[in-house]
Amino acid sequence: MNKAMVIDFYELTMANGYFESGMKDQIAYFDLYYRKNPDGGGYALFAGLETIMDFIDDLSFDDEDIEFLKSKKMFSEGFLKYLRNFKFSGDIYSFKEGSIIFPNEPIVTIKAPIIEAQILETYLLQVINHQTLIATKASRIKYAAKGRTVIEMGARRAQGLTASLNGARAAYIGGIDATSNVISDQVYGVPSGGTMAHSWIQMFDSEYEAFKTYANIYPNHSTFLLDTYDTLSSGVPNAIRVIKEVLIPKGVKKYSVRIDSGDLTYLSKATRKLLDQAGLENCTITVSNSLDERIIKDLLIQGAPIDIFGVGERLITAKSDPVFGSVYKLVAIEENNEIVPKIKISDNVEKITTPHFKTVWRIMDEEGHFDADLISLDSEKLNTKKPLTIFDPINIWKQKTFDNYQLIQMHEIIYENGQRVYERPSLKEIRDFAQNQLNSLWPEVRRFDFPHQYYVDLSKALWKIKNKMIEDLRG
């Protein structure tokens, strides 16, 4: 399967139409952005750029693709020949992977001949919609855990191989500590681990024998699953017995128990009490069973003595809000070496696009917190030595002036004339960058309920262009 064929059919009909109309070399600008934060949150966490770079580096159509498209009897021979020699030749500007992002700001901007820009649409949206959604969900779950270890365990509930593989990668960027998914470790280096399932325990004549056998084989990696028969009357006593008979005599000091069902607050408290009474204060407690950020938050509010959370389906599918909804819109073209802005008007205000070739600036206060974002024309020069006043693009009387601030330009050039010029960071570097970004948010923006609205405003010059275009098109 060639990833170049991950494309909506209308992109091909338009591309063929551009080719036949003599427009194939027309330079176009497209913005990829999203309209609302998932789960009613205050932000999103950008992930997927590395996957996009892999795609563009290898983007081409092979003979099998051309023959298939020819069989559709809709495309000209000239266009099919064009596809046979296809190679991306444009420019791409993007936020760094791991960046905090907000609605309606261009995360990725494509400047390329119209056919090239159009052909990228579906794959870019698919990747960013998925990985950004999972990274954002993971960051919320890790935030709820208040520094405790979180393991992604959702491979068997993910919608296919790509979702589980890249989902684990995105979750790691979002702050998750490890995954149960071995292939994500092999391909990306996301730390993987795991111990036993209920079937292991059922295979032995007794729970005690199952625990003891496992401890002898894996003394330094023992987590005992307690709830196969009865958590408190069977699971905990057998785990204590094996820890004392097998692990402690071997000098092992790290071991854990896991609860996978029932009232996790009650059971974890009762388990902690039994472990402490047995002198095993250093034995950690892991829990799993359809967890998400809100359940984890409630467990900790209730005083559950949990050390590690295993989170599966509600993370890898972002079950509570599973569609990220980024879009890909034409914002400008070039005519006679001049940029001509384009706008889409809609009766739904949120669907009106912001025209022109733009860049995004992040305003940071003296303490290192992100205060607001400003979208300007790419050609604008901002003077950081002067106070900066921004205003709400809808309610323009809402204004704020910054005196002591830093401006961070969020877009970096990734491809120039079809050549990748961006140095790819390691996954750990992306993860570390993401955590620094998250730590730069005010806590009010990160809270789950009624988060503070982070403002994304337009520069005065860009605001004037947008409103004039709306007025002209509305007559």
E-strand stretches of 260-321: 284-287, 308-311
Take residue 339 and report the two structure tokens written for it. 């940029």
E-strand stretches of 417-459: 419-420, 455-458
d(Cα 442, Cα 439) in Å, to the nearest integer? 8
E-strand stretches of 321-454: 326-335, 338-341, 358-364, 370-377, 388-391, 399-402, 406-409, 412-416, 419-420
* Chain CA centroid to CA 368, Å: 23
The answer to whether 80 and 115 have CB atoms below 8 angstroms apart is no
Mean pLDDT of the chain: 96
Which residues are within 8 A (CB) of 251 and not within 5 positions of it... i.e. 6 or more apart? none
Q: What confidence category does residue 385 fall into, taking pLDDT thresholds of 50, 70 and 90?
A: confident
Q: What confidence category does residue 347 fall into, taking pLDDT thresholds of 50, 70 and 90?
A: confident
Take residue 438 and report the two structure tokens written for it. 């998250």
Query: Above pLDDT 70, what percent of the chain?
Result: 100
Question: CB neighbours (10 Å) of residue 439?
Answer: 10
Query: Which spans in 302-353 are helix H?
Result: 313-316
Q: Give the domain 3-134+322-474 fold.
A: nicotinate phosphoribosyltransferase (3.20.140)
pLDDT digits (tens, 9 = 90+) for 64-82: 999 999 999 999 999 999 9
Query: Above pLDDT 90, what percent of the chain?
Result: 95
pLDDT digits (tens, 9 = 90+) for 281-329: 999 999 999 999 999 999 999 999 999 999 999 999 999 999 999 999 9
Instruction: List the one residue out of 221, 228, 281, 276 whose CA is nearest residue 246.
Output: 221
pLDDT at 129 over 80: yes
CATH 3.20.20.70 for domain 144-316: yes
3-state secondary structure of 466: helix
Q: Is 72 exposed, middle or buried (0-12, 13-18, 19+ CB in 10 A)?
A: exposed
Place of tokens 């938050």: 297
Question: CB neighbours (10 Å) of residue 421?
Answer: 12
Adjacent-strand bridge partners of 362? 373, 408
- Looking at residue 346, its pLDDT comes to 85
Pairing verdict, β 308-311 and 284-287 = parallel
First to last CA, the chain: 49
Take residue 187 and report the two structure tokens written for it. 């391909």
Adjacent-strand bridge partners of 223? 256
Take residue 108 and report the two structure tokens written for it. 């990725």
3-state secondary structure of 235: helix
> Mean pLDDT, to the nearest integer, of 209-236?
98
3-state secondary structure of 332: strand
Instruction: List the one residue out of 355, 366, 379 whose CA is nearest residue 468.
Output: 355
d(Cα 433, Cα 105) in Å, to the nearest integer? 20
pLDDT at 475 over 80: no
Which residues are within 8 A (CB) of 242 and not within 5 positions of it... i.e. 6 or more apart? 208, 211, 212, 215, 224
d(Cα 29, Cα 112) in Å, to the nearest integer? 7
The answer to whether 191 and 173 have CB atoms below 8 angstroms apart is no
Domain boundaries, the chain: 3-134+322-474, 144-316
pLDDT digits (tens, 9 = 90+) for 246-295: 999 999 999 999 999 999 999 999 999 999 999 999 999 999 999 999 99
Question: CB neighbours (10 Å) of residue 33?
Answer: 24
d(Cα 451, Cα 469) in Å, to the nearest integer? 33
d(Cα 110, Cα 331) in Å, to the nearest integer? 10
3-state secondary structure of 447: coil
CA dihedral (71, 76, 82, 86) in degrees, to 10, reads -40
d(Cα 231, Cα 245) in Å, to the nearest integer? 20
pLDDT at 393 over 90: no
- Looking at residue 383, its pLDDT comes to 84
Give backbone dihedrals phi and psi of 413, rounded to 5 degrees, phi first: -80, 125
d(Cα 472, Cα 387) in Å, to the nearest integer? 32
Q: What confidence category does residue 116 fall into, taking pLDDT thresholds of 50, 70 and 90?
A: very high
* Distances from the Cα of 345 to the Cα of 107, 348, 351, 353, angstroms: 21, 8, 7, 7
- Looking at residue 201, its pLDDT comes to 98
State the greatest distance between any 2 C-alpha atoms of the chain, in Å, as a whole number: 85
How much is the pTM? 0.96
The answer to whether 409 and 46 have CB atoms below 8 angstroms apart is no
Instruction: List the one residue out of 175, 182, 199 whose CA is nearest residue 260.
Output: 199
- Looking at residue 384, its pLDDT comes to 83
The answer to whether 102 and 36 have CB atoms below 8 angstroms apart is no
- Looking at residue 350, its pLDDT comes to 84
Which residues are within 8 A (CB) of 458 and not within 5 positions of it... i.e. 6 or more apart? 354, 374, 375, 376, 393, 466
3-state secondary structure of 333: strand
- Looking at residue 411, its pLDDT comes to 98
